[in-house]
A and B are shown apart, each in its own frame.
Chain A
Amino acid sequence: MGVIFQKSKKGRRGVTVPGWFKDVKEEIPSAMMRTGLETVEAGEVDVVRHYTALSQMNFGVDSGMYPLGSCTMKYNPKINEKTASLEGFANLHPLAGEEMSQGALRVMHELAGYLCVISGMDAFSLAPAAGAHGELAGVMVIKKYFQERKEDRKVILIPDTAHGTNPASVAMCGFEVKEVPSTKEGDVDMEALAQMVDGSTAAMMLTSPNTLGLFDRNIHKIADLLHAKGALFYCDGANLNAVMGKARVKDMGFDLMHINLHKTFSTPHGGGGPGSGPLGVAQKLEKFLPVPVIARRGETFSLDYDRPDSIGRIHSFYGNFLVFLKAYTYIRMLGPEGVREAGENAVLNANYLLARLKEHYNLPIDRICKHEFVLSDQDMPHGVTTNDIAKRILDYGYHAPTVYFPLLVHGAIMIEPTETESLETLDAFVETMIRIRKEAESDPELVKGAPQTTPVKRVDAVGAARKPVLKWEE
């Protein structure tokens, strides 16, 4: 469909201000006039049509199933948006003062309370603006904890299944990363871990359930091993959707965690909106939480900055407030029973897909999964790869699953249906996957040439990475 620059016509305007465009050039000193930076000149209707057409090519969870593993692309109920656009919230100035912001502060205080109930943690800070930001704040808390104890611990352990942001957060805080291997069944290798944990270990970061969609069967043993050596246990809460309302992360032995509101609590993510990664801690770490913390006295709420042991400020103002409203609405709409049921259905849906798809695709680790599972392209016929399968899925009107992650599975295809898909939608997806498997047998070139029906066909990912073209030129 081309780019907006191609719709440009010299002198065309969306809005004309009387007398303005005529003289503007004369008022700018010629020395300051630049050339070579062409901007688009187009009528309002042309601009609107261009971007409307672009938006129609978009694929979101509102258009179809989005089984992107590790991302929890659940449907975001529209009532969330309604709450977030209530005038009293949407127009509230962040500097309006506590006496005029009591409603907003109450929402934040209550949301932090709900997260405590769901996770078992003792206190939450809502400040982190994304999952990785929550991790960073968490590792800063770990660092401060050991500084205060005057213990020099340099190493943080991370399993080989971890999200890439874990080692990044650790390195940014000056710790050394050591990678813990997994067993063939997808648990942490306890023997290797026992060898690695010592007095230099500050913490271990574990995603629970892990990125293979599996609950580590040794979770308490891991926690005991770490605690016996004085180390902390951090939970990457990206996969909380699988256990919310069923099991509390603190009861598993974790000392601190972050939660992705934009995954677990149904706020838009990807291109759709800012994230939010609240950090929760056990009581002994509470004083290190970032400021401000929402304090409550009777029915009055305030922003508490007087926390001398805090790691300090990590975000302007108070975090991504409108995201809190959406997550708050989601939790209140579901209630405790509903939160539990959502987690149960997420796990049930994933296991249903696993049970049906393992008849047709290689399943490297055949265990009851949590909210997601990982297939492999290991025994695909005619050299059809994960990349080909993912592209072919697009032709059938689905978003692709997560591919080639985690790295320890050959050609990983990571599928997470979430709780919001119906049995009919899941069955239709299974039928599509079976059909692609048959196509790979009978017509491999069709699959290797996919996608055929999307606005953009197979892109040259290698060429784009090696020789990127970053500027549009005719």
Chain B
Amino acid sequence: MSSIPEGIKYTKDHEWARLEGDFVVTCGITDHAQEMLTDIVFVELPEKGDEVKQGQQIAVVESVKAVSDVYAPVGGRVVDVNMKLEDSPELLNSDPYGEGWIFKIEMSSKEELDELMDEKAYAEHLESGD
């Protein structure tokens, strides 16, 4: 069973979003996502200052098995990206909710974050096998 920490929000496409301060959310992919992808070998990061809409493709993760799009859990402006992933994509496997964060977004609307799943709903989503 993959890890689903409390107190952060999840999308059906297996991204997570954690509110830091008032408007900035840190985002990454879930433990389940990294398990499914297996060893991640490359991450294509967004650029600071990019404007994204909720659900828009924002990054790409590539494993030996597959290449997958990462979608923005919330809309807004990218204020930071985890440059460490360029040289150490394995952080996404070893610490998906910590050192393996991918980008930070300054939200344009807080409501979008509220719409996402909590840990219980996400666990059910995984159970349903989707």
A interface residues with partner B (beta carbon < 8 Å): 164, 404, 407, 461-462, 465-466
Q: Is B42 part of the contact surface with A, judged by Cβ < 8 Å?
A: yes
The 7 closest A-B pairs by CB, nearest first: A465-B41, A462-B39, A461-B64, A404-B65, A466-B41, A462-B64, A407-B66
Interface 1/0 per residue, B15-51 and A, CB below 8 Å? 0000000000000000000000001011000000000
Residues B67 and A466 in contact, CB atoms below 8 Å apart: no
Q: Within the complex, what minimum Cβ distance (angstroms) separates B32 from chain A?
A: 13
- What 1/0 mask marks residues of chain B from 48 to 82 whose CB sits below 8 Å from any chain A CB? 00000000000000101111000000000000000
Q: Which residues does chain A contribute within 8 Å of B90, judged by CB atoms?
A: 466
The answer to whether A164 and B67 touch (CB under 8 A), given A462-B41, A465-B41, A466-B41, is: yes
Which residues of chain A come closer than 8 Å to B96, judged between CB atoms? Answer: none
**Minimum CB–CB distance for A83 against chain B, Å:** 39
Verify if B100 is at the interface (C-beta below 8 Å from A): no
Selected from A407, A461, A465, the residue in CB contact (under 8 A) with B42 is A465
Contacts A462-B41, A466-B41 aside, 7 further interface pairs with beta carbons under 8 A come to: A164-B67, A404-B65, A407-B66, A461-B64, A462-B39, A465-B41, A465-B62
Q: List 15 A-B contacts (CB under 8 A).
A: A164-B67, A404-B65, A404-B66, A461-B39, A461-B64, A462-B39, A462-B41, A462-B64, A465-B41, A465-B42, A465-B62, A465-B64, A466-B41, A466-B89, A466-B90
Chain B hits for A461, CB < 8 A: 39, 64
B41 CB, nearest partner CB in chain A, Å: 4
Q: In the docked arrangement, what's the CA distance between A164 and B67, Å? A: 10
Please give the residue numbers on chain B whose beta carbons come within 8 Å of chain A beta carbons, in ascending order.
Answer: 39, 41-42, 62, 64-67, 89-90
Instruction: Provide the main secondary structure of the chain B interface.
Output: loop
Whose C-beta in chain A lies nearest to the C-beta of B89? A466
> Complex: how many Å from CA A462 to CA B94?
14
Q: Which residues of B contact A404 (CB under 8 A)?
A: 65-66
Complex Cα–Cα for A466 and B91 (A): 12
A157 to chain B, nearest CB (A): 16
B41 to chain A: which residues have CB within 8 Å? Answer: 462, 465-466
A407 to B67, CA, bound (A): 10
The answer for the CA separation of A462 and B63 in the assembled complex, in Å, is 8
For the complex formed, measure the closest distance between the CB of B83 and the CB atoms of chain A, giving whole angstroms: 16
Residue of A nearest to B62 (CB): A465
Cβ–Cβ < 8 Å partners of B67 in chain A? 164
Q: Bound complex: CA of A407 vs CA of B64, how far in Å?
A: 13
B42: which A residues are within 8 A, CB to CB? Answer: 465
Give every chain A residue within 8 A of B89 (Cβ-Cβ): 466
Task: List, in ascending order, chain B residues with CB within 8 A of A407's CB.
Answer: 66
A164, A404, A407, A465: most-surrounded residue (chain B CB, <10 A)? A465
Residues of A within 8 A of B62 (CB): 465
A466 to B62, CA, bound (A): 11
Chain B min CB distance to A52 (Å): 32
Separation in Å of the A235 CB from the closest CB of chain B? 24
Cα-based distance from A404 to B39 in the complex (angstroms): 14
Expressed in whole angstroms, the minimum distance between the Cβ of B55 and any Cβ of chain A is 11
CA distance A461 to B89 in the complex (A): 14
Residues of A within 8 A of B66 (CB): 404, 407
A465 to B43 alpha-carbon distance, docked (Å): 12
A462 partner residues in chain B, CB cutoff 8 A: 39, 41, 64
Q: Which chain A positions have C-beta within 8 A of B39?
A: 461-462
Choose among B39, B41, B42 the residue with the greatest number of A CB atoms under 10 Å from its CB.
Answer: B41
Q: Provide the bound-state CA to CA distance between A407 and B65, in Å.
A: 9
A404 to B41, CA, bound (A): 16
B47 to chain A, nearest CB (A): 18
User: In the assembled complex, how far is the CB of residue A469 from the closest CB belonging to chain B, in whole angstroms?
Assistant: 14
B65 to chain A: closest residue by CB = A404
Give the complex CA separation of A465 and B66 in angstroms: 12
B62, B64, B66, B90 pick with most chain A CB within 10 angstroms:
B64
Which residues of chain B are near A164, meaning CB under 8 Å? 67
